[in-house]
Amino acid sequence: MGVLDEPFRGQIPPPWFMALGGLERMRAWGRLVPAPPVTRLLGVRPTHVGPGLAACVMPADELMVGPNSQVELWPLISDALNMAIATAVGPAQYAKPLVMFGNYFRTTRAGLGNILAKARVINASSLFVYAEVLIEDNEGRQLAHGGAEAAIVAVDPAPPLPPSPLEPVDEPIWPTPDPWQRPAGTNVPLSSWETRDGIDIMRDLAAGTLRAPITSLLDFRLREVGAGRVTATIPASPWFCADSRGVSVSILAALADMTAWCCGLTMHRAGETLAGLDVFIRIFRAVPADDRLVRAEARREAMSDDIAVISVTVSDADGRVVATANSAAAPIDNARRKRPRRRPAERMLCTIMFTDIVDSTHQAESLGDAAWCALLERHHEVARREIALCNGREVKNTGDGLLVRFGSPARALDCATRLRGALAGLGIDIRAGLHTGECEVADDDIVGFAVHLAARIQGAAAPGEVLVSSTVKDLTIGGGYEFESRDEHQLKGVAEPWRLWAVR
């Protein structure tokens, strides 16, 4: 049974929700109304919303990888743009998406942490709103840029007034993780693109002998594959709903984008790279979430030695055109690519620490943009001081948290506990996760199972808690620390349960 066969989670907001102003609506998600189904499905969620502003994150892990072996960015691009645009509409109004576009700067591969989208309104009138978005990885590198325009439309019929007072809601607890938190499954090996033509890979995807994680999540299926043409479908599932009982624009955009990539990749030759350049999407009508199939047909319009142009038509189950897309990509001979020289990876024993600010979204909303940015800067200053005192090395800044490596578990524990106390004095609660193990260290990056495990341990920590693996506990016996058992945890992506310990 696939994910979409399960009962959907989350809630489509009640009718009174649209009576709120756009900014109030965006700030209500997760506090006054439960998260919608599509958020439960994909894990794209806001971290900050302000007047004309929205920041969202999406997990960068394998589950979001599409048929091109890259992370599918359009759910994040679309959601960030639509949230920023929504802040510009008034009560009993909504923003009807008209066009969206994106330009790609670099290949987006799966990894640790989140991908960040920062969107802002450029122009707003009584009729239209225009916004732009910048997409960054967890190292601050720019991945893509995009924009969107929407029409301001009155809600018809007029929504009822919201209840007074508005009471916070408690999100239900589910017996299994949300779909985006589950193991990713298999992916098209990157080595396949070096040795096989793209049309053969696309045919294997159509036959089901190869799968891509996000295509399984969305039940994206290739129905027809030929040189320069493909057809794909997804069901109009209730899992895809956001603020209405229709399929979210972010899902329609992802369908168009993935179908375009599959079409372009039918022309891929072994030893080449197909570099995405841009995509332009027009939205014509909504699609009800009635479980019937939404169909996307893509064909190659033009191709030279320098550029390939793909057009996509998305239609509903009644054959009506829902959206169109045009995208461009450049085939590049891998022999022409200049790869940066990297220091050979060195395998070494490290203690890894992940930290995260507790309830950062609520704090950002409460403080406002300027005060929140100032507090983040102070957080980084204090953290870097404590890291230096404990001989640690900052690897990545995740926005509201850090990835740090140490040569000693005792120094990592010292840093985590000192940092917890120092930041508490600023009114900042953190959670931290630590594990010791062998890692591949090269240049300014670090990879390996130990890094993955430390990230999952941090995710299991309670607010204000420093949580460690049994390995860290055993290696620091006699160091003056006391530990409380937190029993065994089944961590995402880890086969066996791990016993975790909280530092007093």
One-letter amino acid for residue 456 of the chain: R
Q: Which residue has the tokens 């199972």?
A: 449
What tokens appear for 293 in the block? 């199939």
Residue 104 in this model has a pLDDT that exceeds 90: yes
Q: How many residues are there in the chain? A: 504
List, in order, residues 6 or more apart from 388 with CB less than 8 Å away.
none
Per-residue model confidence as pLDDT tens digits over 169-206:
877 888 888 898 887 777 788 778 888 899 999 999 99
What tokens appear for 125 in the block? 């009138």
User: Please, what's the b/e burial string for 230-239 (b: 16 or more CB within 10 A of its CB; e: otherwise)?
Assistant: bbbbbbbbbb
Beta bridge partners of 31: none
Residues 471-479 have a mean pLDDT of 86
Residue 98 in this model has a pLDDT that exceeds 90: yes
What tokens appear for 1 in the block? 């049974």
What CATH number is given for 346-503 in this structure? 3.30.70.1230
256 φ/ψ sector (left φ>0, alpha ψ -120 to 50, else beta): alpha
Residue 372: count other Cβ atoms within 10 Å of its Cβ: 18
Measured over all CA atoms, what is the biggest interatomic distance in the chain, rounded to whole angstroms?
71
**Model pLDDT, residue 110:** 84
Q: Which CATH superfamily is domain 3-336 in?
A: Acyl-CoA thioesterase, double hotdog domain (2.40.160.210)
> Quick check: pTM over 0.75?
no
Domains 3-336 and 346-503 share a fold: no
Spatial distance between the Cα atoms of 43 and 408, rounded to a whole number of angstroms: 34
Contact present, 177 and 43 (Cβ < 8 Å): no
Per-residue model confidence as pLDDT tens digits over 349-393:
899 999 989 888 778 778 877 788 778 878 888 888 888 888 888
Domain ranges of the chain: 3-336, 346-503
The one-character DSSP state at 245 is S
Spatial distance between the Cα atoms of 165 and 182, rounded to a whole number of angstroms: 37
353: nearest Cα among 431, 470, 463, 440: 431
Better-predicted residue by pLDDT, 127 or 50: 127
Confidence of residue 8 (pLDDT cuts 50, 70, 90): very high
One-letter amino acid for residue 88 of the chain: A
214: nearest Cα among 46, 44, 455: 44
